[in-house]
A and B are shown apart, each in its own frame.
Chain A
Amino acid sequence: MGALAAGSVRGNLYMYDTNKAGGSTGFGTEELRTRVRAGDRVLWNCLALECEAFVGIAGIEVDKSVIEPERKVYPGTDVAYWIGTVKKDDIDVVPYRIRFLVGTRTEPITTTLSPTLVG
């Protein structure tokens, strides 16, 4: 709702991953730094804080030599997630951008601050 009202996810986006023990940082911010290694499968999905609101991922823009996320659906549903496999080690810091579908807006809203994958 905040993102819809502001037309931006700035201040309205909270990102987390499940690799805290592996060294990820920036939990609960728009600049999540996810620690990855070659071969790791990274899956993105999103939830709206208001369960009556719709939110989805329209695309993830990232260096394709590191990871190529693609859209898939949970079998038997139209609920989508994005998934990709990290192609190499020693990637240093790789920023990426997520384009969100929010509510009934036709134009996606893109992240302004940058989450990253870190090697």
Chain B
Amino acid sequence: MGEVIVVTSGKGGVGKTTTTANLGTGLAQLGYKVSLVDADIGLRNLDVVLGLENRIVYDITDVTGGHCRMRQALIKDKRYDGLFLLPAAQTKDKSAVNPDQMKVLCEDLRQEFDFVIIDCPAGIEQGFRNAIAGADRAIVVTTPEVSAVRDADRIVGLLEAAELRDPKLIVNRVRYKMVKAGDMMSIDDIIDILAIDLLGVVPEDEMVVITTNRGEPVVSDDRCRSGAAYRNIVRRITGEQVPLLSLDEGGFMGKIRRMIGFK
């Protein structure tokens, strides 16, 4: 019996889809069987982030509507053994699926997969309610900005109201230099405000843009810091204790060390 995890944030553009893609890929690289579910119906994106956009035949609404079997709709990622995607529908809206159907879908998926990771749409309306309906636990993604943290706080409240207790936080796109200069809220500041457990911190990194351009999640890139951050988060999800990545870039020498392959 696998575990169903929903990745949510309230605010759009903080990195839910990127996080979902990287956690899924990372877990698959560790040998787990993973199904990623794009619950953002009408604004399908997880497929392009994963580089699987050309292989979609059926989507989530075909499964919930009984037009095809689950097996037919799941796209197997050929690069990573054990990684599958259930894409969202692009031409329908959020009301094409309801929370009860999502619960059934998640129950079906957890029979076959170790992890089912759901990419939640932005907002707090039906798309959000669908995405969290079948989840066992939630990951809240935020960035160190007032708007994102405020929305994260709202989401934490709504998750608790839906009996999804103890959500875990990922702080994305942290710029260490700005934190150091006192121009960006630190991880401690954010934890202080949201009062939930930290699952991980991902530094701002151009490599995320570059790898996403190619449709390859950054977690499989061994050289960059964001990839390392995602790999640590993945290990924490599997229950391993992994210390937080130092956000300090280590100055000039640190850069050189990283260039020649020392972490």
Partners in one complex: no
